[in-house]
């Protein structure tokens, strides 16, 4: 693949010290701009969908169209465009490498854009009101399936491009040794993307052939197995890339390094090997599957993919703790966290994203994926709450935080309105938290998903249980949370769009941010700027420094915590586990209160 083209012009980034390939820069930027446009579009739809719940007069037909488009826009299009940009960034800029075939990448992008336009047309014109899942035998316009397929092939080619860039970089020896951890994580995401998109192509391919009359029927159960290979698989791509960018944000915001390179990499390998089995979460109350099949798959083979997430759950905060302690914030168990750069948008986005993802999205996901518990959850609003916790509070927030660095560094423009950027993650994260918690609660109360009228006013056999009692209040909280999140989204789009349009071109585009990585950060550190209060917080007696040889490289741990590399993190993960265990027990108690069934 390493075609020898004349070397593309490149520049050295003043902030990070990386060599920036201008083709990579332009392509990453183009993909990321398409991503933001789709995010804004999906956010606008979210306003209408949420307000309809409170009486905004939108016909049922249009509400379903908007819901279909919102789902595809946010779950597939926005995230995958952003991820393609992240893959280009990781495989060129982090490796000082180049895009091996920029023309091909422009062709991918065109395919993806055309695919999205076709699919959006079909959904909004009412030709494809089948939702993102498109379960047969419901039928949509052939161009809907063709659009999604075209998009998927575009993303597949981008993944191939990612690996081609790495292979070329390796051959041309522009980086030495192993891939950086972030690129390794991105590679895991790209591998998962390739097999997920391939299964998705089979699923939508069957429907496309069916819609043009080539295939007579598509078996609904078989389709579901293939569809969830992409339906869930795409979310696992989001997971792997989000974790990779979390590691990147740690470097950008606190100058962190991996606590243990090897362990973090093993965790990514576990994702690659096992996480796709989670597709079965969607099939747990389907006819046609046996008990062992359900248990082995839903548990990702002994929960080895969950083990991977639990490894990251330790490694990520430990990496922050270690970096903060090295910067001198050594007081107490949590002094490092308290003194974190909370006004740095990447840091607040990172921490909120990790916390909501772990405590709510991850735990709710494992509960839903427990075979018997799934009966209480399948297709209720709980599912919707879960994936808003993963994809909106987790992935989208992480991507937003990352964008505050990516955009200035790619465009060499200073961030416009950094103060708004500082506030934005809190508004967005807070709004999504309200949204997610109320959706989860509504799901526990039985509220079904994808229903335009919870009053069932037009139903021959009426159901008034969701129009009375506490449910309307919970649904009001869903709307309020959604609207707050949308405000956070508007703030984000404003900052990014203004930066792109009006941002001041600068040699030092990191002005207004405090990037803790690269030559400029080191200069600041040398000038005593980057490490505030370091000397004051640390007793200069030498008792601070671990004497145990094994921990000598980890400074800042006080003697009574000498046995721990990251004592604060250790306490936090134990707290997390306790929360997990409690919810697991409560969920089984709820199950035991239900009608005997089998």
Partner 1 sequence: MADDQDRSGSEHGAEHGAEHGGRGELSTLLPPKERWWERLGPDERRWLTIAFVWCLVLFSGMYVWLAIGDQQTPIESYRIDPFVFQQEVDAFVEEYQIDERDGAAVVEPPPGSDVYLHANQFAFRPVLQLQKDEEYRLLVSSTDVQHGLSLQPTNLNFQVLPGYLYVIRITPDEVGEFPIVCNEFCGLGHHVMTGLIVVD
Q: How far is CA 11 from CA 7, 159, 358, 578, in A?
A: 12, 25, 38, 50
Q: Which of 91, 374 has the CB closer to partner 1?
A: 374
> Is the Cβ–Cβ distance between 464 and 456 less than 8 Å?
yes
Asked whether position 388 contacts partner 1 by CB under 8 A, the answer is no
* The two structure tokens encoding residue 210: 């069916």
CA 276 – CA 228 distance, rounded (Å) = 9
Site for partner 1 in 334-363 (CB under 8 A): none
Question: Closest distance between partner 1 and the C-beta of residue 557, in Å?
Answer: 10
User: Is 295 one of the binding residues for partner 1 (CB under 8 A)?
Assistant: yes
Alpha carbon 379 to its chain centroid, in Å, reads 22
* CB nearer to partner 1: pick between 504 and 550: 550
Among 552, 559, 575, 582, binds partner 1 (CB under 8 A): 552
Shortest spacing between CB 414 and partner 1, in angstroms: 21
Q: What angle do CA 133, 136, 140 make, to 5 degrees?
A: 75
**Contact mark string toward partner 1, 248..267, x via CB under 8 A:** x-xx---xxxxxxxxx-x--
The interface region with partner 1, picked from 30-38, 356-364, 431-439, 572-580 by CB under 8 A, is 572-580
Confirm or reject binding of residue 374 to partner 1 (CB under 8 A).
yes
Look up residue 269 and give its two tokens.
Answer: 């390998």
Contact between 371 and partner 1 per CB under 8 A: yes
Among 294, 413, 414, 514, binds partner 1 (CB under 8 A): 294
- For the CB of residue 541, give the shortest distance to partner 1 in the complex, in Å: 15
- Report the residue number, 112 or 230, with the smaller CB distance to partner 1: 230
User: Does residue 9 bind partner 1 (CB under 8 A)?
Assistant: no
Distances 469 to 4, 454, 473 between C-alpha atoms, Å: 69, 13, 8
Shortest distance in whole angstroms from residue 156 CB to partner 1:
26
563: contact with partner 1 by CB under 8 A: yes
CB 42 within 8 A of CB 74: yes
**Smallest separation, CB 511 to partner 1 (Å):** 20
Give the torsion sign (CA, 296, 574, 428, 418). Answer: negative
Give the residue with the Cβ less far from partner 1, 138 or 535: 138
Q: Which of 30, 83, 87, 354 is nearest to 238 (CA)?
A: 83
Encoding tokens for residue 356? 């909501």
Handedness of CA 551, 556, 558, 564 (dihedral sign): negative
Nearest partner of 145 among 85, 215, 81, 80, judged by Cα: 215
Which positions from 405 to 434 touch partner 1 by CB under 8 A, shown as an x/- string? Answer: ------------------------------
CA distance 36 to 32: 6
Task: Name residues contacting partner 1, limited to 442-481 (CB under 8 A).
Answer: 444-446, 448-454, 456, 458-463, 465
Helices (H), 125-180: 142-171
Binders in 173-202 for partner 1, by CB under 8 A: 175-182
By CB under 8 A, tell whether 377 contacts partner 1: yes
Q: Does 551 bind partner 1 (CB under 8 A)?
A: yes
Quick check: 372 binds partner 1 (CB under 8 A)? yes
170 binds partner 1 (CB under 8 A): no
306 HSE (CA, 13 A, CB side)? 19
Residues 45 to 84: which contact partner 1 by CB under 8 A?
Answer: 60-61, 64
Q: Does 287 bind partner 1 (CB under 8 A)?
A: yes
Residues 6+ apart with CB under 8 A from 351: 340
Cα(289)–Cα(14) distance, integer angstroms: 57
Residue number with CB closer to partner 1 (423 or 450) = 450
């Amino acid at each position: 693949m390493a075609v020898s083209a004349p070397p593309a012009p490149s520049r050295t980034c003043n902030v990070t010290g990386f060599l920036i390939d201008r083709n990579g820069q332009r392509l990453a930027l183009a993909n990321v701009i398409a991503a933001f446009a789709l995010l804004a579009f999906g956010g606008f739809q979210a306003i209408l969908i949420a307000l309809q719940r409170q009486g905004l007069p939108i016909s049922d037909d249009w509400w379903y169209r908007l819901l279909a488009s919102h789902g595809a826009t946010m779950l597939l299009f926005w995230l995958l465009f952003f991820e393609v940009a992240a893959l280009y960034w990781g495989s060129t800029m982090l490796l000082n490498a180049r895009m091996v075939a920029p023309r091909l990448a422009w062709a991918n992008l065109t395919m993806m854009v055309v695919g999205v336009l076709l699919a959006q047309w079909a959904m909004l014109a009412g030709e494809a009101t089948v939702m993102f899942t498109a379960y047969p035998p419901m039928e949509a316009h052939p161009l809907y399936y063709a659009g999604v397929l075209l998009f998927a092939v575009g993303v597949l080619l981008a993944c191939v491009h990612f690996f081609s860039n790495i292979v070329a970089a390796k051959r041309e020896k522009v980086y030495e040794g192993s891939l950086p951890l972030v690129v390794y994580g991105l590679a895991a995401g790209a591998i998962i993307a390739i097999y997920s998109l391939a299964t998705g192509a089979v699923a939508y391919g069957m429907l496309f052939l069916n819609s043009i009359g080539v295939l007579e029927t598509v078996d609904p159960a078989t389709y579901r197995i293939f569809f969830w290979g992409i339906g869930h698989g795409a979310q696992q791509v989001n997971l792997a890339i989000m974790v990779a960018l979390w590691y990147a944000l740690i470097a950008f915001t606190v100058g962190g390094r991996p606590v243990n390179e090897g362990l973090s990499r093993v965790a990514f390998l576990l994702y690659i090997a096992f996480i796709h089995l989670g597709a079965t979460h969607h099939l747990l109350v389907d006819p046609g599957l046996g008990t062992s099949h359900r248990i082995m798959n839903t548990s990702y083979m002994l929960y080895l993919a969950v083990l991977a997430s639990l490894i990251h759950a330790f490694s990520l905060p430990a990496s922050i703790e270690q970096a903060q302690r090295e910067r001198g914030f050594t007081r107490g168990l949590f002094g490092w966290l308290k003194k974190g750069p909370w006004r740095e948008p990447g840091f607040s986005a990172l921490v909120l994203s990790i916390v909501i993802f772990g405590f709510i999205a991850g735990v709710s996901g494992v509960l839903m994926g427990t075979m018997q518990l799934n009966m209480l959850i399948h297709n209720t609003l709980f599912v919707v709450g879960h994936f808003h916790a993963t994809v909106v509070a987790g992935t989208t927030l992480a991507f937003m935080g990352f964008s505050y660095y990516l955009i200035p560094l790619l465009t060499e423009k200073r961030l416009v309105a950094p103060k708004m950027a500082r506030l934005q993650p809190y508004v967005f994260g807070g709004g999504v938290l309200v949204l997610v918690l109320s959706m989860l609660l509504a799901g526990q109360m039985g509220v079904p998903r994808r229903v335009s009228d919870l009053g069932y006013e037009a139903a021959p056999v009426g159901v008034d249980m969701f129009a009375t009692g506490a449910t309307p209040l919970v649904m009001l909280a869903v709307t309020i949370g959604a609207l707050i999140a949308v405000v956070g989204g508007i703030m984000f789009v404003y900052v990014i769009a203004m930066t792109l349009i009006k941002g001041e071109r600068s040699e030092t585009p990191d002005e207004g941010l405090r990037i803790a990585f690269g030559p400029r950060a080191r200069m600041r550190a040398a000038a005593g700027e980057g490490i505030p209060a370091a000397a004051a917080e640390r007793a200069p007696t030498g008792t601070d420094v671990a004497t145990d040889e094994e921990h000598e490289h980890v400074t800042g741990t006080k003697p009574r915590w000498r046995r721990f590399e990251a004592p604060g993190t250790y306490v936090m993960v134990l707290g997390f586990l306790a929360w997990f265990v409690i919810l697991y027990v409560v969920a089984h108690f709820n199950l035991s209160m239900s009608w005997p069934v089998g």
